[in-house]
Amino acid sequence: MAKKLRFALFLCLFFLSLPLYAREAAAPDVMVVHIEGVINPVTAEFLDKSIKTADESRADAVVIMLDTPGGLDTSMRQMVKAITGSPVPVITYVAPTGARAASAGVFITMASSVAAMAPGTNIGAAHPVSMGGEKLTKEMSQKLENDAAAYITSLAEKYGRNAKWAALSVRKSVSISESEAVKTGVVDLVADNVDDLLKKADGRKVMTGIGPVVLKTSGAKLRDIEMGWRLRFLKALSDPNIAYILMMIGVVGIFFELSNPGLVFPGVVGGVALVLAFYAFQTLPVNYAGILLIILALIFFIAEVKITSYGLLSVAGVISLILGSVMLIDSPLPFMRVSLKIILPATLTLAGFFAILIRTALRSHRARVTMGKEGLIGAECEAMTDLDPEGDVFVQGAHWRASSGDGIRKGEKAVVVSVEGLRLKVTRKP
């Protein structure tokens, strides 16, 4: 009996331990996040949600595939906080070949549990620049530089990386290749691909938001975290060129609605486009003088429709529009500015549109009036009675009383020369 009980107990323990063995034998779970392009609020929100998803699903690590020219300081700091506070180890991998981790990307790489690069990549040039469109004084620029240098130095020291080089990347905008980065201790390793990265990172003791953790990444099952449609849409809006095009659509839509009240559709489209454009502008270094010039251009165009200036207001509007477009986004970084390839076609198209509008308006002003009393002047009529000096005439389908000093007889043709109340003054047709 005792033997049977021992055997039954053994079987129970065996079957209860099977899930533990199965879990132990399961491949590690690693989530992959792709961060490409400018660092902005959308990118920061995406990374924050991705790390939370990895934590909730108990992933073994998160790999950030990074390729960025930089971006907003506030968004970069939000991403650094998410990485350093993550209970899941975060591996930043500057990849694929040809990718870079510049400016804000250097801070993100330095803040990661493991910093890695692919062959043919580079890292550096983290000098802070004004992203708000304003001109910085020498003192303010120095303050920003010191703050950024202290921040990146603390991150490098925390993870045992080259703090001296990190400070130089801010103060001197130095940049190095992946091979130099490994030799100088800026990053931890170089990997050919993600699989190679996970093999080399396996077994490393790294820091996370909850303390040191030993990585288990070899042979891991990879899961890509995709950016949802909402974030993809907002990211597209954050492109300076898209924001500018939306603003132009908004200007044209509002113009049509104000010049032709009651159309509704142009006003709705223009209003929505302007709201989306202003959302994008909050993530860009907008110069408000540029916005004011564009608004002034819109006022000039509307005034041209209401006031006969023979094109002067429209010329002023086109000049204001071009100057405002060039001044709209003020940044030393090329990827944060509106391309001239977008500005010139947009402004020239609008200029052509308003030129056609002005030409049509001038034609209508010069055309002879064909309705009302003014439309009778110069019209041909037929005498229904003798005009000696008064009588009846038939003009434009109606009978009128008329007078003439030419002694016009019944049936003769005449021409209206003026309208005095309900009487016409006519003269014999030459």
Give the residue numbers marked as catalytic.
103, 143
Tens of pLDDT, residues 89-117: 999 999 999 999 999 999 999 999 999 99
Distance CA 76, CA 74 (A): 5
Q: How many C-beta neighbours within 10 Å does residue 385 have?
A: 15
Q: Hey, what long-range contacts does 413-417 have (CB within 8 A, 24 or more apart)? A: 413/380, 413/381, 413/382, 413/383, 414/380, 414/381, 414/382, 414/383, 414/387, 415/378, 415/379, 415/380, 415/381, 416/376, 416/377, 416/378, 416/379, 416/380, 416/381, 417/377
- Please report the pLDDT score of residue 295 as a whole number: 83
Structure tokens at 278: 């202003």
Closest to 404 measured CA to CA, from 394, 396, 395, 417: 417
- Please report the pLDDT score of residue 20 as a whole number: 45
Distance CA 48, CA 40 (A): 12
Strand 90-94 to 114-117 pairing? parallel
Distance CA 68, CA 46 (A): 15
Instruction: Give the position of tokens 């030419």.
Output: 406
Distance CA 328, CA 135 (A): 14
Tens of pLDDT, residues 222-233: 999 988 898 888
Distance CA 214, CA 65 (A): 21
CA distances, 169 to each of 144, 148, 191, 333 (Å):
14, 10, 23, 17
- Please report the pLDDT score of residue 357 as a whole number: 67
Distance CA 423, CA 430 (A): 21
Q: How many C-beta neighbours within 10 Å does residue 301 have?
A: 27
Q: How many C-beta neighbours within 10 Å does residue 418 have?
A: 12
- Please report the pLDDT score of residue 136 as a whole number: 60
CA atoms within 13 A on the CB side of 32: 18
- Please report the pLDDT score of residue 251 as a whole number: 80
Q: How many C-beta neighbours within 10 Å does residue 115 have?
A: 27
Q: How many C-beta neighbours within 10 Å does residue 2 have?
A: 6
φ, ψ of residue 222 in degrees (nearest 5): -95, 135
Structure tokens at 194: 């993600």
pLDDT, tens digit only, all 430 positions of the chain = 555 555 555 555 554 554 544 344 467 899 999 999 889 889 999 999 999 999 999 999 999 999 999 888 889 999 999 999 999 999 999 999 999 999 999 999 999 999 999 999 999 998 876 544 455 667 877 888 999 999 999 999 999 999 999 999 999 999 999 999 999 999 999 999 999 999 999 999 999 999 999 999 988 999 999 888 988 888 888 888 888 889 888 888 887 787 677 778 888 998 899 889 888 887 777 788 888 888 888 788 777 766 766 668 877 888 888 888 888 877 666 667 788 888 888 888 877 777 676 666 666 655 555 555 666 788 889 999 988 888 999 987 788 889 988 888 888 999 988 888 778 898 888 7
Query: Which residues fall within 8 angstroms of residue 231, CB to CB, at 6 or more apart?
Result: 42, 45, 46
Query: How much is the pTM?
Result: 0.72
